[in-house]
Amino acid sequence: MSYASSVIEAILKNSPIAASPDDLNHKENNSGYYSTFEGEGARKVQFVIEDLLSLIEAESFNHERAVALSIGGADGSDVLSLIERLKLKGGVLLEYDTDAALKAHAKASGENLPLEVEIGDATQKLGAALARAKSFGDVDTLIVLCFGVLHELPERSPGYSHDALFDTLFASFPNVLVYCAEPCAQPSPPLGWPEVVEIALDDVQADRLVGVAGFIRDRLFGMVAAPPQVRGPSFVRMHRDLAVELLHKVVRFVGVARFHYEMQERLTSFEVQSLARRIASRNEGIEQEVTYRTSGGFRKAYGEFGVITRNEDGAFLPVPFTHCRLVLRRFARNEKPAQDKAPNRPGNLPDAPAQPPGDHTSISVTNHGVTVNSTVNTR
């Protein structure tokens, strides 16, 4: 039996049975859940540092009058890295989990970094977090970090709406820069997979794979996706987002308890292009960039599980996009920096970091079309 087959059997053995409270509260009860992500923010924030350094060189904003806000940043490694590398005025961590927030506070105190911590729900505590940001004094720029939280807030935060979040953020400071990195829905062709795909895993019979796909569809998709269908001994036909959701939960499987917890959220629900257009329509003068990516870990696991994906005509498909980045910038007068101005990097700031290994930036999307291997603004 292949490893892919053993994972499928482990899921099938447990999926018909309602998860126990311990399973459903895996995130809260198992300290190992947060330790899995410990320090991840420091890696994820590197693309933000690179972008901000270029903006500082162009004198788009003053880093000494800027404060950062991390929403759902767990141990705060993202915002702490930003404060330290860019010498910001300060930072705020808005985090629901008390243990993670206290760990961030202790680290900031130990390293003498100016960090305020607001513990609680993102919707209920956003105003308090912004008040903490303003408490640093002479600040005119807010840098917001949202890594892996926007896709789950609609289900986990009572009363949450994307409109309310972004309207509040852009009304809070003259200069606002927002950096989001999320798992997301597949873009439509030509960027992404066709609407319907056929998928197979190494040494997994179609009648077993369709059982797992059906379980995920019933729990997370409902009528949004048609029921998966067997196509021959190995392949199963399903909606592209259901296929990617299945792969997220199967090829990154680390245990039944974790699987049950992750079955409470749909990773492919985040429609980044729709959100970007809506934000721009509600807030004037915003520059925006949307970038689709495939994480290195997913790409590796995709190969290890022997995943084969094809369209309905039998043509093989590439590894799908799994994540996206949404970057939003609004400066007080929406002035673009002069292109012929010599760089003016403050002497105490480091050089821009290199992209971390396995960070595959593939395609950037704008309102004016698609650019391969580069990122351009929409306005």
Residue 347 pLDDT > 90 = no
Residues 314-334 have pLDDT tens digits of 999 999 999 999 999 999 864
Average pLDDT of the chain is: 85
φ and ψ at residue 56, rounded to 5 degrees: -65, -40
Q: Give the position of tokens 């090829």.
A: 251
Decide the pairing of beta strands 115-119 and 141-147: unpaired
Asked if 230 and 210 count as a contact pair (C-beta separation under 8 A), the reply is yes
pLDDT at 341: 42
Q: Is the pLDDT at 343 greater than 50, yes or no?
A: no
What is the band of 14 on the pLDDT scale with cuts at 50, 70, 90? confident
% of the chain residues with pLDDT over 70: 81
d(CA 279, CA 62): 25
Q: Is 31's pLDDT higher than 90?
A: no
So what's the pLDDT on residue 258?
86
pLDDT on residue 353: 40
Work out the average pLDDT over 142-146: 97
Average pLDDT value for residue range 150-172: 93
274 class by beta-carbon count within 10 Å (0-12 exposed, 13-18 middle, 19+ buried): exposed
Mean pLDDT throughout 243-256? Answer: 94
Q: What is the pLDDT of residues 86-101, one digit of tens each?
A: 999 999 999 999 999 9
Q: Where does the pLDDT of residue 257 fall: very low under 50, low under 70, confident under 90, or very high at 90 and above?
A: confident
Who's near 344: CB < 8 A, 6+ residues apart?
57, 59
pLDDT higher than threshold 70 for residue 376: no
Sequence-ordered list of residues with C-beta below 8 angstroms from that of 272, at least 6 positions apart, any chain: 182, 184, 185, 290, 324, 326
The pLDDT score that the predictor gives to residue 15 is 61
pLDDT-based confidence at 309, cuts 50/70/90? very high
Tell whether pTM > 0.95.
no
Structure-model confidence comparison of residues 340 and 199, the more confident one? 199
- Give the pLDDT band of residue 131 (cuts 50, 70, 90): very high
Least confident among 31-35, 69-73, 103-107:
31-35
Residues 151-180 as b/e (b if ≥16 CB within 10 A, e otherwise) read bbbeebbeebebeebbeebbebbebbbbbb
- Domain locations in the chain as residue ranges: 3-27+187-262, 35-184+268-293+321-372
Query: In this model, does residue 354 exceed pLDDT 70?
Result: no
Instruction: Domain 35-184+268-293+321-372: give its CATH superfamily.
Output: Vaccinia Virus protein VP39 (3.40.50.150)
